[in-house]
Amino acid sequence: MDEEQVRGRGGPGRWWRHGPPPWPRRWEGGDGTTPGPGAPRWPGAVRWPWPSTVLITLFVLVGSNFAAHAQEGERASLDVFARVLLVVACGLLLWRQRHPVAVVFGTAAAVALYLGAGYPYGPVFLTVAVACFAAVVAGHRRAAWTALGMLWAVHLLVAHWLYRWLPPAGDDSAPFGQEIVVAGWAVAIVAVAELARIRREQWARERAERAQAARRRADEERLRIARELHDVLAHSLSVINVQAGVGLALLDADPEQARTALTTIKSASKEALGEVRQVLDSLRAPGDAPRAPAPGLDRLPELVEQAARAGLTVDVTGLPPRLPPHTDLAAFRIVQEALTNVVRHSGSRHARVRFDQTAGTLRLRIDDDGPATGADAGGSGNGLAGMRERAAALGGTIEAGPRPDGGFRVLAVLPTRTADEAGEDQ
């Protein structure tokens, strides 16, 4: 509930019923997440890997020629069919990012035919390695393992059983030690692909966390600016409202007093314009140093003087302590909002502000003697909510409500040291 409800009047508090208004996110890009393996993609979102595919094709074709010369007489020589298989295995890699499962099985099948035809061992296995890598990184681990297993099974059949009927003629069974090398080669491919997949997921999580942190900072900054504008405008407009009423009432009966009220209105509006301009400057040039320092408890005498011009007498007990900038601003705004609410909602023309400081804690109490008025001051009902948010942001608390002996009390408990400073003392 807002202070108007706590004092015993007013309609439902919109802030606490519905929460703060949703802020537009037009300037925020994306949701900070990375689509998973099965997530739909926009057409054309994945680029065709032309350069790498062309380089792999050239390497495989040239390397296979060298392998054929080195294994001449041991394996079948490269013919048109062999070169077609090499080009097909390499060409399939163009689709490895769009259809990784089909590509990994297609390259494995092309290489299996290449081995079954007795062509020379060589860089043709690179096509399967690249396709397997792409499938694992895309999240299709089972497909990559299955394709490698099938290719290894074909190699076992060809090398230890079907070699009698397949070219080259007179070929002998391969040693089983060679199978250990092939198995190690397959495991190494999958291991490297798994490492790449894990690292890619880490990068995606880090990007999502950074995007979420950026959105959170933007939301906090918008909320801070909303609080600043509310506190500045609520206080100044309340003073202007009261003084305008006084001026209208005394315009004919006491022109001099009416002139004083108009002077107060001019002063309050000028100060409000200056503070609003300072807040808006932070929006126009985010990250730049403010042109004027943020208000703090050193401006408490000005606040008391403004309250006096609005007809409210303020007694201050205790010396305002030296506080960190954020705590100093929050304490000033809490006193400002509490006095503004006295002017708007209380029939009392007297308020008391008391400072009590203990080790690491500031107790700030604002009392008035009441009673509550029934006049509508035109407030938004966000005063107490803003004070609580300021205190909570610093790790403090706000208690506000009627006093047993009448009137109203706002009690703020704020830490005067940051968490880092408290940790250093331990």
Using one digit for the tens of pLDDT, what is the confidence trace for 187-225? 787 788 778 878 888 888 899 898 898 888 878 777 777
What is the token pair recorded at 310?
């609005």
d(CA 314, CA 318): 13
What is the pLDDT averaged over residues 253-269? 77
What is the pLDDT averaged over residues 306-332? 85
d(CA 343, CA 306): 11
What is the pLDDT averaged over residues 284-289? 52
pLDDT beyond 60 at 422 = no
What is the token pair recorded at 28?
């925020």
pLDDT of residue 14: 37
Closest Cα partner for 380 from 7, 24, 10, 23? 10
d(CA 103, CA 125): 14
Q: Which pLDDT tens digit goes with each residue over 341-373?
A: 888 788 888 999 999 988 888 999 999 987 877
Residue in the block written with tokens 């700030």: 364
Residue in the block written with tokens 């704020």: 414
Q: Which pLDDT tens digit goes with each residue over 398-421?
A: 998 888 888 899 999 999 875 444
Using 50, 70 and 90 to split pLDDT, how confident is the model at 80?
very high
pLDDT of residue 29: 41
What is the pLDDT averaged over residues 167-173? 59
pLDDT beyond 90 at 158 = no
**Do the beta carbons of residue 268 and residue 306 sit within 8 Å?**
yes
Domains and CATH numbers, the chain: 50-211 (no CATH), 212-425 (3.30.565.10)
Looking at the whole model, is its pTM more than 0.85?
no
Residues sharing a CB contact under 8 Å with residue 61, sequence separation 6 or more, in sequence order: 83, 86, 87, 90
Give me the phi and psi of 76, to 5 degrees please.
-65, 145
pLDDT beyond 50 at 426 = no
In the chain, the amino acid numbered 406 is G
- Percent of the chain past pLDDT 70, that is, above it, reads 74
166 or 380, greater pLDDT: 166
pLDDT beyond 70 at 162 = no
Strand partners, 354: 317, 365
pLDDT of residue 13: 39
pLDDT of residue 339: 87
Strand partners, 399: 411
Sheet with 408-415: strands ordered across: 313-317, 350-358, 361-368, 408-415, 397-402
d(CA 129, CA 144): 10
pLDDT of residue 276: 73
Q: Mean pLDDT: which of 239-248, 273-282, 306-315, 377-386 is highest?
A: 306-315
**Which ranges in 251-324 belong to alpha helices (H)?**
255-284, 300-309
70 or 21, greater pLDDT: 70
49 or 230, greater pLDDT: 49
Query: CB neighbours (10 Å) of residue 76?
Result: 18
pLDDT of residue 239: 72
Of the candidate ranges 102-106, 263-267, 333-337, the one whose mean pLDDT is the lowest: 263-267
